[in-house]
Amino acid sequence: MINLYTWPTPNSRKVSILLEEIDIPYKVFPIDITNDEQFSKEFSKISPSNKIPVIVDDENNKSIFETGAIMLYLSNKYNKFISKDYYWDVMQWYFFQVSQVGPYLGQAHQFLSYHPGKSPYAEEKYKAYVKRVYNTLDERLKKYQYLGIEYSIADIATWPWVARFEIHKTNLEDYPNVLRWYRLISKRSAVIKGFNAVGEKIAIPMI
Ligand SMILES: N[C@@H](CCC(=O)N[C@@H](CS)C(=O)NCC(=O)O)C(=O)O
């Protein structure tokens, strides 16, 4: 059994969607980050940087933090969603998510939606980064159905961030290939289930 310490955020949804896609049982432990539960002494033992999500694998008692590592752990353990034929395509787009899509869109949320007017410089900077990320995704998805050619952890990691398009002030219609890909993945039953693995159930944002 996999234990998932989580809260309804894009990073956490990456992991719950992957668990649903792999189709293994998992237990959810909510860590309310709006109430600073990530800073508890107990949780610090498995999350040295006090961030969610974290998994603990009952089979070997291993705990893993950082979604980049968690998703690689699960996809390697179950040998799913890493593609044999397109392994390096998957890895490049997976690491693009980990190093660019998540961090840039995450900062865009802070400056464009949660704290607007605090820093015109940061707003301009992250608006430009959002466009750059979307242009990059759109070009890739013009050529291929999925980021890693086959459906993989690259798509599963990226999709929950794109699902926050309203918060990073993006009109998906400006990126028709991303929109096609977003709608396609939104229909998957594992995605629908994994999206609401914890917290109040909400509808997947659609356009
Ligand atoms: N690089 C980390 C980022 C995790 C992260 O940013 N988690 C956020 C929620 S999406 C969090 O725990 N925020 C609470 C905090 O930073 O105190 C990962 O990919 O796991």
Q: What residues are paired with 26 via a beta bridge? A: 2
CA distance 88 to 86: 6
Distance CA 29, CA 143 (A): 39
The residue-averaged pLDDT of 181-190 equals 98
Identify whether 167 is part of a domain: yes
Asked whether residue 202 is domain-assigned, the answer is no
Contact residues for 169 (Cβ-Cβ < 8 A; gap 6+):
108, 112, 113, 127, 130
Are 131 and 76 in a shared domain?
Answer: no
Pocket of ligand 1 (CB under 6 A): 9, 11, 33, 38, 50-52, 66-68
Instruction: Output the residue whose Cα is nearest ligand 1's atom 12.
Output: 51
Last residue of a domain, one of 81, 96, 130: 81
Specify if 95 maps to a domain.
Answer: yes
If you measure from the C-alpha of residue 190 to the centroid of ligand 1, how many angstroms do you get, rounded to a whole number?
Answer: 23
User: pLDDT band at residue 71, thresholds of 50, 70 and 90?
Assistant: very high
Average pLDDT, the chain: 98
Give CA–CA dist 34/173, Å, rounded: 32
d(CA 166, CA 164): 6
Residue 200: inside a domain, yes or no? no
Position 203 in a domain: no
So what's the pLDDT on residue 69?
A: 98
- Domain count across the chain: 2
Q: How many alpha carbons fall within 13 Å on the CB side of residue 28?
A: 19
Mutate to test the pocket of ligand 1, among 52, 97, 98 (most ligand atoms within 8 A of CB): 52
Please check whether residue 193 lies inside any domain of the structure. Answer: no
Do 25 and 76 belong to one domain?
yes
Ligand 1 atom nearest residue 12's Cα: 10
- Ligand 1 center from residue 106 Cα (angstroms): 10
What domain range includes position 64? 2-81
CATH number, position 154 = 1.20.1050.10
In-domain check, residue 205:
no
Kindly state whether residue 9 falls inside one of the protein's structural domains.
Answer: yes
Amino acid 21: pLDDT: 98
Specify the ligand 1 atom closest to the Cα of 10.
10
Task: With H, G, I as helix, E, B as strand and everything else as coil, classify residue 62.
Answer: strand
Kindly report, residue by residue over 3-51, the tens digit of the pLDDT. Answer: 999 999 999 999 999 999 999 999 999 999 999 999 999 999 999 999 9
Question: What does R_g of the chain's alpha carbons equal in angstroms?
Answer: 17
Q: Kindly report the pTM of this predicted structure.
A: 0.97
Q: Which atom of ligand 1 is nearest to the CA of 11?
A: 10
Residue 142 CA, ligand 1 centroid: distance in Å: 31
Mean pLDDT across 88-100: 98
Residues 198 and 12: beta-carbon distance below 8 Å: yes
Q: Whose CA is nearest to atom 19 of ligand 1?
A: 67
Q: ∠167-168-172 over CA atoms, to 5°?
A: 100
Condensed to tens digits (0 to 9), the pLDDT of residues 129-148 reads: 999 999 999 999 999 999 99
Mean pLDDT of all residues in 167-172: 98
